[in-house]
Structure 1
Amino acid sequence: MSTSFIPIRRSAVVVSALLAVIGLTLAGCTSPPSATDRAPASTAGDGHGFVAGAAEMPEPQLRLITLGETGLQAFDPATGDSVALLDEAQGALSSDGRYAVVTEPDGRATVVDTGTWTVPHGDHSHYYLAEPRSLGRLDDRADAGPARLASSTTLTAVSLPGAGDSSAGEGLGIVLDGEALADGRLEERARIPLAAGGALLPLEDLLVGPAPDSENVEAGALASYSADGIRLDVEADCAAPAGAELTRVGAAFSCADGAVLATAETGGGSIRFERIPYPDDIADGDRAMSFAGRPGRPDVAAVAGGRGAWLLDTRDRRWTLLPSPAPLLRATAVGDADGTVVGVDVEGRIVVLDAQSAGDGAAPARSEPVLAAEIVDGQVPAELVFEVDADRAYVNAPSAGTVLEIDYRDRARIARTLDIPGGAAALAEVG
Structure 2
Amino acid sequence: MKRTRLRVLLATLVVLGASACGTGGDPSGDPDTDPSATAGGGSDEAAAASDGTEAASATPRLAVTHEGGVMVVDVTSGEVVAEEPLEGFVRVSPAGDGRHALVSTTGGWNVLDLGSWGHEHGDHAHHYTGEPRLTGALLEAVEPGHVVAHDGITTLFDDGTGTITVLDPEDLADGRPETASAAADEPHHGVAVQLRNRNLLMTVGDVESRSGVRLVSPSGSVLAETDECPGVHGEAFAEDVAVFGCEDGAVVVDGRDITKVSSPDAYGRIGNQAGSDVSPVLLGDYKTDPDAELERPTRISLVDTRDASLRLVDLGTSYSFRSLGRGADGEALVLGTDGAIHVIDPTTGDRTDRIDVVGRWREPLDWQQPRPALHVVGATAYVTEPRRDRVHVVDLDRGRVTSTLDLPHTPNEVVANAG
Q: Which amino acid is 1:273 matched to?
A: R
Map 1:360-399; keep pairs closer than 5 Å.
Answer: 365=354, 367=356, 370-372=359-361, 374-377=362-365, 381=369, 384-399=372-387
The alignment-based identity, stated in percent, is: 22
Contact residue 245 and residue 251 of structure 1 kept, 8 A? yes
Q: State the alpha-carbon separation in 1 of the partners of residues 79 and 364 from structure 2.
A: 32
1:20 maps to 21
Q: Distance in 2 between matches of 1:247 and 1:57?
A: 34
Cα distance in 2, alignment partners of residues 389 and 186 from structure 1: 25
* Match for residue 286 of structure 1 among 250, 268, 271: 268
CA contact (8 A) 1:309 1:328 kept: no
Q: 1:349 aligns with which of 334, 339, 349?
A: 339
Counterpart amino acid of 1:430?
N
Question: Does the CA contact (< 8 Å) of 1:85 and 1:134 recur in 2?
Answer: no
Aligned counterpart, 2:416: 429
- 8 Å contact kept, 1:322–1:354: no
| Contact 1:67/1:425 (<8 A) preserved | yes
RMSD: 4.2
CA distance in 2, matches of 1:22, 1:177: 16
Q: Shift of the alpha carbon at 1:197?
A: 1.4
1:409–1:320: structure 2 CA closer, same or farther, 3 Å change rule? Answer: farther
Q: Post-superposition shift, 1:419?
A: 0.9
Paired residue type of 2:284: A
- Is 1:174 the counterpart of 2:165 in the alignment? yes
- Residues 184-223 of structure 1: matches in 2 within 5 Å? 184-193=175-184, 196-204=188-196, 206=198, 208-213=200-205, 218-223=210-215
Map Cα deviations across residues 176-208 of structure 1 (whole Å, 9 max, x no partner): 354543321043322422661111223236353
Q: Structure 1 or 2: larger strand share?
A: 2
Q: What are the ranges of 5 or more consecutive residues in structure 2 without an aligned counterpart?
A: 1-13, 25-38, 288-296
Alpha-carbon offset, residue 333 of structure 1: 3.5
8 Å Cα contact 2:236-2:274 kept in structure 1: yes
Match of 1:311 in 2: 302
1:99 maps to which residue?
100
- Deviation string for 1:76-104 (max 9, x for gaps)? 21121222162456522222343222223
The count of corresponding residues between Structure 1 and Structure 2 is 373
Maintained 8 Å contact 1:44/1:51: no
Alpha-carbon distance in 1 for matches of 2:234, 2:313: 19
SS of aligned partner of 2:62: strand
Aligned residue among 148, 157, 160 for 2:155: 157
How many angstroms apart in 1 are the aligned matches of 2:23 and 2:153?
Answer: 10
Deviations, residues 329-375 of structure 1 (Å, cap 9, x unaligned) = 344242444x5222233x44223132289666x68626376141x52
Write the distance in 2 (CA, Å) between the matches of 1:366 and 1:379: 25
SS in 1 for 2:274: coil
Matched, 1:417 2:404: yes
- Structure 1 CA distance for aligned equivalents of residues 306 and 54 of structure 2: 31
Displacement of 1:155 after TM fit?
3.5
Aligned-partner SS, 1:326: coil
Matching of residue 63 in structure 1 with residue 53 in structure 2: no
Do the aligned residues in 2 keep the contact of 1:322 with 1:353 (CA within 8 Å)? no
Q: Deviations over 1:30-59 (max 9, x none)?
A: xxxxxxxxxxxx997447896552456565
1:234 aligned to which of 223, 239, 249: 223
Distance 1:400 1:215, change over 3 A: closer
Q: What residue identity is the alignment partner of 2:99?
A: R
Over 3 Å counting, the alpha-carbon distance change for 1:252 and 1:58 in structure 2 is farther
Matched residue SS, 1:181: helix
CA distance in 1, matches of 2:84, 2:172: 18
Residue 282 to residue 55, structure 1, CA distance change in 2 (3 Å)? farther
> Using the alignment, how far apart are the partners of 1:315 and 1:130 within structure 2?
43
Deviation at 1:156, TM superposition (A): 2.4
Structure 1 match to 2:320: 329
Change (3 A) 1:322 1:129: farther
93 and 295 in structure 1: CA distance in 2 versus 1, 3 angstrom threshold: farther
User: TM-score, normalised to structure 1's length?
Assistant: 0.70
C-alpha contact 2:341 2:357 (8 A) present in aligned 1: no
Quote how far apart the aligned CAs of 1:74 are.
Answer: 1.8
Equivalent position of 2:71 in the other structure: 73
Give the Cα separation in 2 of the matches to 1:159 and 1:68: 23
TM-score by length of 2: 0.71
> How many angstroms apart in 2 are the aligned matches of 1:213 and 1:148?
15
Aligned residue for 1:273? Answer: 256
Q: What are the Cα deviations for residues 365-412 of structure 1, in whole angstroms up to 9, with x where unaligned?
A: 26376141x52359794775310123321122334432133344555x
**Unaligned segments of structure 1, at least 5 residues:** 1-12, 24-41, 165-170, 263-271
The corresponding residue for 2:35 is none
CA distance in 2, matches of 1:120, 1:250: 26
Could you tell me how far apart the structure 1 residues matched to 2:326 and 2:172 are? 29
CA distance in 1, matches of 2:280, 2:57: 22
CA distance in 1, matches of 2:197, 2:135: 22
3-state DSSP of counterpart to 2:190: coil
Q: CA deviation at 1:291?
A: 0.9
